[in-house]
Chains A and B, each alone.
Chain A
């Protein structure tokens, strides 16, 4: 089944104890879906392709940006603005032409997740937001697919294997056994908001690939029922034992989730509730064009303001209480930040202080760049 080129290419793992020709053939006949070609996705794609997994699927819809390059080491400086997915597919094909690649240029959602995931043996989650993490987990549980989970934040990483089939046929714990209820969105900052250490994503992503390859080749002791935590700032590591919860809504004794749900709403990210306080970038653009430009308050940090701004007054959110004297309650004020989270907090604070003519710019300067002015630098 393996040709001569493959026998040579994979020699260093074929000669490994417990791996052998048999392990290599298992890899060749297996398929993995990688969600996201970012900080975690890239080491995964690289090692899975190099190891000779027969078919790799990639879900990605984003473009390469300059601020990705600090950790997403496969992309080159001159590729900023290009499709991440297309670039990643090309990289895989150049690295190992024996691998076939299925590229899904889409955002995974409740509509497409079962169909996309259903066609693969195993899923590697390298997504970057909480709704997608619950979505991928539930889809894997519903479809009976093992899920190699990892997530990073600042200097820390988490790794585990969810929903793995055990010898007795039962399934190991899943994401909802670990985090039954999502905390409010402000308690789960993304890498955009909280930052992330570049080399950490390589470490954690490579651990994820390591677990995926072990599962597919059927070797070793899996990270099933255990959460691995690594804090690279203090260089400490920890294992925690996770138990299956009989009240888990997707895998417990009496499941209440039998099909995929609205994960944005589940994670408290539905935009409907604050609609009255929102202004869209199109509406703001229209106001400016018609000569009714509102007062613009930019609550980002000064270093962000320096990269690009909408000529607003820059008062960072953390300083708003001290600088509130600079604002007038009589003036129509549009508050913005990068994506709309910090400005929402600023809006809530100012409302409590008696401001009523205030609006939150939906999607922040990112939306402005995307919808109104492409020449603005984003980060």
Chain B
């Protein structure tokens, strides 16, 4: 199934885009998405502690994603 990954902040640099489409197996969890991102983009390891949001909600790592879900990557930013 296809899911969309939406990136903010430094995650945009790592994905080299503000949005990428990932092909995931059915019954994949948020933890699987995190691993897929590390495999595809080794620099994402630096953000591996990031909580991921699916669509409009922050979810736990065992949350199962569905086709066309949007996984949102929001690293902390510190500027003021």
What bracket does the count of chain A residues touching chain B fall in?
35 or more
What 0/1 pattern do residues 71 to 82 of A give for CB contact below 8 A with B? Answer: 000000000000
Chain A residues within 8 Å of B29, by CB:
none
Closest chain A residue to B77, Cβ basis: A153
What 0/1 pattern do residues 220 to 257 of A give for CB contact below 8 A with B? Answer: 00000001010100100011111100000000000000
Chain A residues within 8 Å of B57, by CB:
240-241, 243
- Check A130 for interface membership: any CB of B closer than 8 A: yes
What 0/1 pattern do residues 43 to 80 of B give for CB contact below 8 A with A? Answer: 00011011101001110000000000000101111111
Q: Contact check, A182 vs B58: say whether CB atoms are below 8 A apart.
A: no
Closest chain A residue to B10, Cβ basis: A187
- Check B42 for interface membership: any CB of A closer than 8 A: no
Closest chain B residue to A152, Cβ basis: B79
Chain B residues within 8 Å of A178, by CB:
51, 58, 76
Interface residues of B in 9-53 (CB under 8 A from A): 9-10, 18, 46-47, 49-51, 53
**Which listed residue (B8, B72, B79) contacts A190, Cβ 8 A?**
B79
Chain B residues within 8 Å of A372, by CB:
none
Closest chain A residue to B78, Cβ basis: A130
Q: How far is the CB of A237 from chain B (nearest CB, A)?
A: 11
Interface residues of A in 123-155 (CB under 8 A from B): 125-130, 133, 150-154
Q: Contact check, B58 vs A179: say whether CB atoms are below 8 A apart.
A: no
A residues engaging B (CB < 8 A)?
36, 38-41, 125-130, 133, 150-154, 156, 158, 178-184, 186-191, 194, 196, 201, 227, 229, 231, 234, 238-243
Which 9 residue pairs of A and B lie closest in terms of their CB atoms, listed nearest first?
A153-B77, A191-B79, A181-B49, A126-B80, A128-B80, A40-B80, A152-B79, A130-B78, A179-B76
18 contacts between A and B (CB under 8 A): A36-B80, A38-B80, A40-B80, A129-B78, A151-B77, A151-B78, A151-B80, A152-B80, A153-B78, A153-B79, A183-B50, A188-B75, A201-B80, A231-B18, A234-B18, A240-B74, A241-B56, A243-B58
